[in-house]
Amino acid sequence: MKRYNICVIKGDGIGPEIADEAIKVLDSVSDKFGFELNYEYFLMGGAAIDVFGVPLPDETLEAALKSDAVLFGAIGGEKWDNLPRNLRPESGLLKIRKSLEAYANLRPALIFDELVNASTLKPEILQDVDLLVVRELTGGLYFGEPRVKEQNRAYNTMVYTTDEIRRIAKIAFEAAMKRNKKVCMVDKANVLETSQLWREVTTEVAKDYPEVSLEFMYVDNAAMQLVRNPAQFDVILTENLFGDILSDEASMICGSIGLLPSASMGGKVGIYEPIHGSAPDIAGQGIANPIAMILSAAMMLRYALNENKAAEAIEKAVKAVLKDGYRTKDIAKFGAVEICTTSEIGSIISDYVKKI
């Protein structure tokens, strides 16, 4: 029997609750498709600061590097907000992304038919929305040196090399080949030199993918187009900070940030995590929506473990559960037949997985 080692980092806030549900669903799917998942649990973020005094302990990073995939919940919370930047929970996440060379962040945004009313946009605008944000994750302003905070002045550096751009552009074109064969590269080339370089390199990469159409869009326009006509997009390729912002915007098109998964990959080991944060305000109440986390587990099966059938089974189960009217509180207003707790909906999804 195939056996995979999963490094589980539950994190802070709602992280532990939603991670438990993802594991429940993974156990059900691995049973069904005949493979074994061996979980090992490690700390990162606030939980690690409390125990080790640092947001990414060495043992967590070592375990992640040795694993087949990292399944990660969420980190952060008010308790740790006033620590110096390098000791904040977020620094742990950035460091693990960089250390695993997880430079490609895939953030799909698609509409569940049953939830079109949950979006703040009009249902007619949502017809045919199915887009994928391919966000560069280990470069740009997040990591550029020098970075300085002085008393009366502060600065950051946006830096990209052609190699960094080329490898993420390839990921975007490969993804487009399996989708609707359109890439929209989002930048600020009317102002930034880095964006000019992105355009040059992406144009070069596009030559290897003659079937894929490439367009360029300024980021301010893209932010506007995403709410004006989101169905025009297939793959959005962009740098780190723009991708951070646009993927949150794209998530709301779908009705709840609690629904969207993500994969951070490309390097040694991938990290699979929901795009939402740790939501400390609702932690521990059993009302968090675990679907983004469960769908992230499906992405892990597909991209890290090549268990495509198992990934599909989870995605189908989630759709069927929503279709049958099971809802967590965040989306209860939209067609709920039964309002479920975090753990109830996790159990229902894992039962559906068995039946699919």
Write out the residues near ligand IPM by the rule CB under 6 A: 90, 93-94, 244, 275
Task: Give the C-alpha separation, 53 to 44, whole Å.
Answer: 11
> Closest CB to Mg ion belongs to which residue?
244
Is 279 within any annotated ligand binding site? Answer: yes
Binding piece for Mg ion, criterion CB under 5 A, among 71-79, 141-149, 237-245, 259-267: 237-245
The least CB distance from residue 46 to Mg ion, in Å, is: 17
188 is catalytic: yes
User: In degrees, to the nearest 5, what angle opens at C-alpha 49 toward C-alphas 48 and 55?
Assistant: 70
244 is catalytic: yes
Angle, helices 291-303/15-33, rounded to nearest 10 degrees: 50
The least CB distance from residue 332 to Mg ion, in Å, is: 25
- The residue count for binding Mg ion (CB under 5 A) is 1
- Enter the DSSP assignment of 212: S
The least CB distance from residue 80 to ligand IPM, in Å, is: 12
Q: Which two tokens stand for residue 315?
A: 């995605």
Q: Which of 12, 244, 326, 329 is catalytic?
A: 244
The one of ligand IPM, Mg ion, none whose footprint includes residue 93, by CB under 5 to 8 A per kind, is: ligand IPM
The one of Mg ion, ligand IPM, none whose footprint includes residue 282, by CB under 5 to 8 A per kind, is: none
Do residues 327 and 288 touch, judged by C-beta distance below 8 A?
no
Q: Which two tokens stand for residue 127?
A: 């017809």
Enclosing H/E stretch for 354: helix 342-355
Task: Give the C-alpha separation, 188 to 160, whole Å.
Answer: 14
130 is catalytic: no
Locus of tokens 């691995």: 30
Is 285 within any annotated ligand binding site? Answer: yes
Is 58 within any annotated ligand binding site? Answer: no
User: Could you give the residue ranges of the DSSP H alpha helices within 8-71?
Assistant: 15-33, 46-52, 58-66
The least CB distance from residue 94 to ligand IPM, in Å, is: 6
Neighbours of 333 (CB within 10 A): 11
Cβ nearer to Mg ion, comparing 12 with 244: 244
Q: Which of 128, 208, 220, 354 is catalytic?
A: 220
User: Residues 21, 114, 187, 244: which binds Mg ion (CB under 5 A)?
Assistant: 244
Cβ nearer to Mg ion, comparing 205 with 263: 263
307 is an interface residue for Mg ion by CB under 5 A: no
Is 277 within any annotated ligand binding site? Answer: yes
Q: Which of 142, 272, 303, 352 is catalytic?
A: 142
68 is catalytic: no
The least CB distance from residue 252 to ligand IPM, in Å, is: 13
Task: Give the C-alpha separation, 72 to 174, whole Å.
Answer: 25
Q: Which two tokens stand for residue 333?
A: 């207003």
The DSSP annotation for 81-142 comes to: TTS-GGGSHHHHHHHHHHHTT--EEEEEEE--GGGGGGSSS-HHHHTT-EEEEEEE-SSGGG
Is 87 within any annotated ligand binding site? Answer: yes
Binding annotation for Mg(2+): 220, 244, 248
Sites of contact with Mg ion (CB under 5 A)? 244
Binding residues for substrate are 97, 107, 135, 220
Catalytic residue numbers read 142, 188, 220, 244, 248
